[in-house]
Amino acid sequence: MRAIGIILAGGNNSRMRELSNKRAIAAMPVAGSYRAIDFTLSNMSNSHIQKVAVFTQYNARSLNEHLSSSKWWDFGRKQGGLFVFTPTITTENSYWYGGTADAIYQNLSFLKRSHEPYVVIASGDSIYKLDYNKVLEYHIAKKADITVVTNSVPDWEDPCRFGLIKTDEDGRITDFEEKPVVASSSQLSTGIYVIRRRQLIELIERCAQEGRKDFVSDVLVRYKNLKRIYAYQMDSYWRSISSVDAYYKTNMDFLNPEVRNYFFKEYPEVYSKIDDLPPAKYNPGAEVRNSLISSGSIVNGKVENSVLFKKTYIGNNCVIKNSIVLNDVYIGDNTYIENCIVESRDTIRANTTHIGNPDQIKIVLEKNERYAL
């Protein structure tokens, strides 16, 4: 084991609108039966990183429940394992994590007790496949202090949502702008970093002494001329689901067979917590085209270009088009839903219509409570 992993999954985000009221963004369901954090955890496991810490904070209940057993990602082992750290009250500190660097500082003992020479830091809200060992080898070959994994900005995405990077011919980062007003580069930081463990401890302790809290602006941007910070360009599929639009488009990408095969049919695999649910049931009169229907669902109506998560019920004569229906939703008869995201555990009343715009996806929240008896 050459490296330990840290997954930053504590952030809240107003760009997710009502979707982040119930859960952390890392726990957002993706592609039918996965959660966003599954992709990063699977990458860690497939890269033979056997000791991983997940820092959770905001709306962590759903995420903590998902991570309650580490065996799904093969972390149930004697050495290493999966650690979940939430902000704890100590004699020195009784606050939430003030930022990414502060989250690492409050759990610095995890780094100090480890023996591995390197640390891989990743965010929990990105959808991608990557062998971190290749990044580590690049990091060692370049004699870098920090290596940042980069990717190109997708065509439909606003580059100003990301940290943008400029590099010289050797791949060394010359300029790093965090969420600029005007984009001057199309190379973005994916939020994946490789750094030597002792170097990280030293930088984080210095940040804490100066009262600085954020890893990107207070470490990467401040030290870009002092430290050797290199960019590792990754050319495969990468998406961040930190806005409603990006979340919708990422799920719709999984209706494309190429993307589906890349993630679920090719080695290495993506793992997730398994639910014991019966396969989807299509009753007479159901009509399904180009959709992902998860187990436990019952379909009576028409579903087109949509993603249905686990345990959804679609009533008679319903039409669901270009939409995402999250888990455990009951949709009553004669309902029409287009360009929407239906929040989980909703009961949509019969004979209702919800239509959003392709540019402005509507989030359907049903106000009536449903109680389990």
- 141 with 191, same domain: the answer is yes
**Residue at 226 is within a domain:** yes
Helix, strand, coil fractions of the chain, as percent rounded to 5: 25, 30, 45
CB 347, CB 332: distance < 8 Å: yes
Please choose, from the candidates 197, 185, 210, 103, the residue with its C-alpha nearest in 3D space to the C-alpha of residue 146. Answer: 197
Question: How do residues 311-344 score in pLDDT, each as one tens digit?
Answer: 999 999 999 999 999 999 999 999 999 999 999 9
- CA dist 324 and 355 (Å) reads 12
pLDDT for residue 113 = 94
Q: pLDDT exceeding 90 applies to what percent of the chain?
A: 69
- Of the candidates 21, 268, 13, 25, the residue with the CA atom closest to the CA atom of residue 130: 268
Q: Structural domain tally of the chain?
A: 2
In a domain, 19, yes or no: yes
pLDDT score recorded for residue 198: 95
SS3 category, 362: strand
Q: Which tens digits make up the pLDDT trace of 79-133?
A: 889 999 988 777 777 778 888 898 999 999 999 999 999 999 999 999 999 999 9
Band (371; pLDDT cuts 50, 70, 90): low
Residue 370 forms part of a structural domain: no
In a domain, 371, yes or no: no
In terms of domains, do 92 and 179 share one?
yes
> Is the model's pLDDT at 251 over the cut of 80?
yes
Q: What is the CATH number of the domain that holds 170?
A: 3.90.550.10
- Residue 286 predicted with pLDDT over 80: yes
In a domain, 187, yes or no: yes
289 in the same domain as 222: no
- What mean pLDDT do residues 210-216 have? 89
Give the structural domain span for 238.
Answer: 3-264
The answer to whether residues 187 and 107 belong to one domain is: yes
Same domain, 164 and 67: yes
pTM: 0.93
Which one, of 329, 102, 133, lies nearest residue 219 by Cα?
A: 102
Q: What is the pLDDT confidence band of residue 370, given thresholds at 50, 70 and 90?
A: low
- In the chain, the percentage of residues whose pLDDT exceeds 70 is 98
Same domain (yes/no): 287, 226: no
Q: Is the dihedral of CA 137, 117, 78, 192 positive or negative?
A: negative
Tally Cβ neighbours within 10 Å of residue 212: 19
pLDDT in the model for residue 180: 80
**pLDDT of residue 141 exceeding 60:** yes
Quote the CA–CA distance of 290 and 286 in Å, as a whole number.
13
Tell me the average pLDDT across 266-279: 93
292 and 177 fall within a common domain: no
Instruction: For residues 31 and 68, state if they share a domain.
Output: yes
Q: Is residue 274 part of a domain?
A: no
Q: How far apart are CA 85 and CA 55, in angstroms?
A: 5
272 part of a folded domain: no
> How does residue 225 score in pLDDT terms, banded at 50, 70 and 90?
confident
Q: Are 242 and 313 members of one domain?
A: no
Is residue 123 within 8 Å of 204, Cβ to Cβ? Answer: no
One domain, residues 21 and 166: yes
368 confidence band (pLDDT: 50, 70, 90)? low
Which stretches within 122-178 are classed as H helix?
Answer: 132-141
**Residue that finishes a domain, picked among 264, 294, 312:** 264
Q: Which of 264, 294, 326 is the last residue of a domain?
A: 264
| One domain, residues 133 and 259 | yes
Considering the domain architecture, whether residues 103 and 247 belong to the same structural domain is answered as: yes
14 — pLDDT class (breaks 50, 70, 90): confident
Confidence of residue 182 (pLDDT cuts 50, 70, 90): confident
Q: Look at residue 36 and tell me if it is in a domain.
A: yes
Q: What is the pLDDT of residue 155?
A: 81
* Domain end point (choices 233, 264, 295): 264
